[in-house]
């Protein structure tokens, strides 16, 4: 959470109550219960109230034309939580939408599974085998084809994210070519078929900055629903050598000593990723305490 270097946001803030998903009558009762709360999403954005906080409403206030929905679990008060995705016509009538990245990190993290599920539903409306329109089952955690009865599950794409260090006093940070000057972060990339996570770390580092990784240490993971990733975080020790950015993804990369990292982030000459991200957590885990300054929301 923000302000801590020792922990990442939990995967879900609620009891998932996964065993209830197949109980259609119970789910139906919860959906119509005045105590249940639904958050509405459209195109990766969240309906918010006048304080820019997610707007949790009763299902009775929802429009009739929701495109997809899912049961998220039971909160600390025993109330069921749902997510629904709005049709474009409805979206036009809601004044206040915010992208997840614009919410305070702890509120955004609460909605990671909701956003990821709605992204999956939006992009998997038809059967990949026969092309028939599929329907929602298991309270939003499956889609089923009415023609061949094939079942389809929410997709998660594993990606590795790694802070490169030299085993002594230096870390390597890179700037993506689409980022403004001064923004720096860890490297990252998707895992390819047949690779282990460690294989992916070694390959991505070699491709993006031309360095040889000799040791990988797993630190933690984070759901990253942009659109459906699981970021698996590592510290990767590499042979110290001049980095060779590929120019394709990484525009520049630099080794920084502990002191250079602290002084340049304090001076604002480099900006680090936001508190929400595992990339900042990986950097601060290596540094040992919080560092100042961040992208975008400063
Ligand atoms: Zn089918």
Spacing, Cα 137 to ligand 1 middle (Å): 15
Residues with CB under 5 A from ligand 1 (ion): 127, 129-130, 132, 145, 147-148
Q: Looking at the 3D structure of the chain, how many domains does it have?
A: 2
Q: Are residues 197 and 241 in the same domain?
A: yes
Question: What pLDDT score does 206 carry?
Answer: 98
Would you say 36 and 79 are in contact if contact means Cβ atoms under 8 Å apart?
Answer: yes
Instruction: Note whether residue 139 is domain-resident.
Output: no
Question: Residue 149 C-alpha to ligand 1 middle, in angstroms?
Answer: 7
Give the pLDDT score at 25. Answer: 97
Residue 7 lies in a domain: no
Measure 143 CA to ligand 1 centroid, in angstroms: 10
**Sign (positive or negative) of CA dihedral 125, 127, 130, 133:** negative
CA distance 187 to 201: 9
Amino acid 101: pLDDT: 81
Res 11: pLDDT:
66
Residue 145 lies in a domain: no
In this prediction, residue 159 carries a pLDDT of 97
Q: How far apart are CA 116 and CA 159, in angstroms?
A: 15
162 and 270 belong to one structural domain:
yes
Say what the pLDDT of residue 92 is: 65
Confirm whether 151 is domain-assigned. Answer: no
Whether 281 maps to a domain, the answer reads yes
Query: What pLDDT is recorded for position 10?
Result: 64
Instruction: Give me the domain span that covers residue 199.
Output: 157-287
Q: Are 21 and 72 in contact (CB under 8 A)?
A: no
Residue 279: which residues within 8 A CB-CB, separation 6 or more? 161, 163, 185, 186, 188, 272, 273
Ligand 1 center to 131 CA (angstroms): 6
pLDDT confidence of residue 102? 86
Instruction: Say how many Å lie between the CA of residue 195 and the centre of ligand 1.
Output: 30
Q: Are residues 85 and 186 in the same domain?
A: no
> What's the 122 CA to ligand 1 centre distance in angstroms?
17
Concatenate the DSSP letters of all residues of 6-20 into one string: S----S-SSB--GGG
Rounded to whole angstroms, the Cα distance separating 224 from 280 reads 14
Cα dihedral value 163, 177, 157, 187, nearest 10 = -10
Q: Is 216 exposed, middle or buried (0-12, 13-18, 19+ CB in 10 A)?
A: buried
Q: Of 41, 69, 44, 78, whose CA–CA distance to 56 is shortest?
A: 41
Distance 150 CA to ligand 1 centre (A): 6
Which residues are within 8 A (CB) of 94 and not within 5 positions of it... i.e. 6 or more apart? 40, 42, 47, 86
pLDDT along the chain (298 residues), means of 10: 54 88 96 95 89 90 87 95 88 79 83 92 96 97 98 96 97 96 96 97 98 97 88 97 96 97 94 88 94 70
């Amino acid at each position: 959470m923000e302000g801590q270097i020792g922990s990442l946001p939990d995967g879900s803030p609620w009891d998932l109550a996964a065993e209830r998903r197949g109980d259609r009558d119970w789910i139906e009762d919860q959906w119509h219960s005045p105590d249940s709360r639904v958050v509405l999403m459209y195109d990766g954005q969240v309906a918010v109230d006048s304080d820019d906080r997610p707007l949790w409403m009763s299902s009775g206030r929802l429009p009739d034309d929701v495109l997809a929905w899912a049961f998220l679990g039971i909160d600390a008060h025993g109330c069921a939580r749902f997510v629904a995705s709005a049709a474009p016509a409805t979206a036009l009538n809601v004044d206040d939408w915010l992208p997840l990245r614009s919410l305070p990190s702890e509120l955004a993290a609460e909605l990671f599974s909701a956003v990821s599920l709605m992204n999956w539903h939006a992009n998997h409306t038809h059967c990949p085998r026969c092309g028939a329109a599929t329907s929602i089952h298991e309270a939003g955690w499956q889609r089923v084809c009415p023609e061949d009865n094939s079942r389809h599950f929410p997709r998660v794409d594993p990606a590795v994210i790694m802070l490169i260090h030299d085993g002594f006093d230096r870390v390597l940070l890179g700037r993506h070519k689409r980022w403004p000057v001064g923004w720096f972060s860890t490297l990252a990339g998707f895992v390819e078929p047949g690779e282990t996570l460690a294989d992916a770390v070694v390959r991505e580092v070699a491709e993006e900055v031309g360095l040889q990784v000799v040791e990988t240490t797993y630190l933690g993971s984070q759901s990253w629903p942009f659109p459906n990733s699981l970021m698996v975080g590592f510290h990767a020790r590499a042979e110290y050598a001049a980095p060779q950015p590929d120019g394709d993804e990484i525009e520049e990369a630099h080794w920084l000593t502990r002191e250079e990292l602290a002084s340049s982030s304090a001076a604002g000459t480099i900006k680090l990723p936001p508190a929400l991200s595992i990339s900042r957590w990986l950097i601060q885990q290596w540094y040992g305490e919080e560092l100042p300054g961040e992208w975008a929301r400063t």
